[in-house]
Amino acid sequence: ESDMQIVNPIWERAQEFFPPLKEISLESLNEKLNVRVGLRPYMPDGKPVIGPVPSAPNLFIAAGHEGEGLSMALGTAELVVDMIEGNPWQVDPKHFAVGR
């Protein structure tokens, strides 16, 4: 069962970003409302881990984005592609290193 005290503020915030949602009643969606829960891993310093895994050649990791995974996906993908292709990084990799 959905906790509407949690869902309502999320719905209101979504309406700020997508004004057409204001035309849809949350109550009308409540019958179809599915709540999904999952882990959102993060690092203690708040930065994701992006880079080669030191103990595994040709293996790269991109994890620990917490709730910003979707918004950081493009930048993360560009960094990983640059690593794989051996291109220069656009940012200092030490900030995202596995062993930092």
**pLDDT of 86 over the 80 cut:** yes
To 5 degrees, how large is the angle CA 60–CA 39–CA 72? 50
Identify whether the C-beta of residue 98 lies closer than 8 Å to the C-beta of residue 71.
no
Q: What distance in Å separates the CA atoms of residue 65 and residue 91, rounded to the nearest whole number?
A: 17
How many helices, marked H, and strands, marked E, lie in the chain?
3, 2
pLDDT tens, residue by residue, 19-76? 999 998 888 877 776 666 677 888 999 999 999 998 998 999 999 998 888 888 999 9
Q: What is the pTM of this model?
A: 0.59
| Predicted pLDDT at 1 | 59
